[in-house]
Amino acid sequence: MNPEAIASAPADHSISTAQSNAFLKKLAWFFSFENRYLAPMLITTILLIGQLTYGFLESWWRTFLAIGVAILVELVLGRLITGQWPHLASAYISGISVGILVRSPEFWPFALCSAISITSKYVIRWRGRHLWNPSNFAICVMLLLVPEYVSTLSVQWGNTVWPMLVVWALGSAIVYRLRRFHITATYVVSFIALALLRSAITGHAFLAEVAPITGPMYQLFIFFMITDPKTTVSRKWAQCLVVFLVAAMEMVLRLSENIHAPYYALTIVGPLALATEIWWTSRKK
């Protein structure tokens, strides 16, 4: 999915200076990496755990193709449109997200999805900001236009809870470090509460309603896509409200049996919220 957000978050070097112990200093140095590298590292870790342990990719080559196309398009468009060579962390995350999330026996959807993802950042802009999370937008386009060739990641973390717990812990630590844990936490709490409500409405088991969030697709969604700083609103309370609305829209879509509800919910709510904020801010100015 789309961790582009975290990759482009501002650097944070606020490690405590009180640590005198050498080990702790080393640890502090480790965690003082530029934030923009944390997300690529996390998503690469998820990919490696998932693939080496369970073989959850469609194939290595399809994922490499998605990453390669994303980076290539970013380089070309960045240079042509802005006149500068862009930083590639965001494109890498977009590519790897497409490589993990898109499922297709064909090769071309991976290339096309990556290309749409990156290009959308440069084309669909309003007042200097792109409105859609790039890979979320591109995946929705693919699902709408070529559903016969494309689906999305639906596998589990094998048969044990350990890989899932490791990713939850690692992902939580990183989004906490990036000061966006409140977004993730709000979404998770909202999803579970709304699952309870859906269960009451549909009469289906609560565990059936909550089941999707236990899968790797949702971990990518909640740690990367909904926390994207480029496409989320700026105030903390507003971020929590928007992500609750994403979960609420997802519930509406789920009640109408939409299989790709989280992708479409973010695609609908995210840009509306951002556009509203941009409009409101400019009006005040």
Report whether 200 contacts 257 (CB < 8 A). Answer: no
Q: Does 202 bind other proteins (CB under 8 A)?
A: yes
Nearer to other proteins, 136 or 239 (CB): 136
Q: Does 55 bind other proteins (CB under 8 A)?
A: yes
Lookup: tokens for 12: 């944070």
Distance (Å, rounded) from C-alpha 230 to C-alpha 222? 15
Q: Does 165 bind other proteins (CB under 8 A)?
A: no
Nearer to other proteins, 48 or 205 (CB): 205
Size of the site for other proteins (CB under 8 A): 57
- In the set 80, 128, 282, 283, which binds other proteins (CB under 8 A)? 80
CB of 55 to other proteins, least distance (A): 5
CB of 85 to other proteins, least distance (A): 15
Q: Does 120 bind other proteins (CB under 8 A)?
A: yes
CB of 237 to other proteins, least distance (A): 31
Within 255-284, the residues that bind other proteins by CB under 8 A are 257-260
Task: Considering only the stretches 37-45, 153-161, 233-241, 268-276, report the one whose residues sit in contact with other proteins under the rule CB under 8 A.
Answer: 153-161
CB of 82 to other proteins, least distance (A): 10
CB of 152 to other proteins, least distance (A): 9
- In the set 34, 106, 127, 235, which binds other proteins (CB under 8 A)? 106
DSSP codes, the chain: --THHHHTSPP-----TT--SHHHHHHHHHHTS-HHHHHHHHHHHHHHHIIIII--SS-HHHHHHHHHHHHHHHHHHIIIIISSPPPSHHHHHHHHHHHHHEE-SSSHHHHHHHHHHHHHHHHSEETTEE-S-HHHHHHHHHHHH-TTT-EE----STTSSHHHHHHHHHHHHHHHHTT-HHHHHHHHHHHHHHHHHHHHHH---HHHHHGGGGSHHHHHIIIIITT-GGGS-SSHHHHHHHHHHHHHHHHHHHHTT-TTHHHHHHHHHHHHHHHHHHHHHHHH-
* String of contacts with other proteins for each residue 121-140, x by CB under 8 A: -xx-----------------
Positions in the binding site for other proteins (CB under 8 A): 54-59, 77, 80-81, 103-107, 112, 115-116, 119-120, 122-123, 141-143, 145-151, 154-161, 164, 202, 204-205, 207-212, 214-215, 217, 254, 257-260
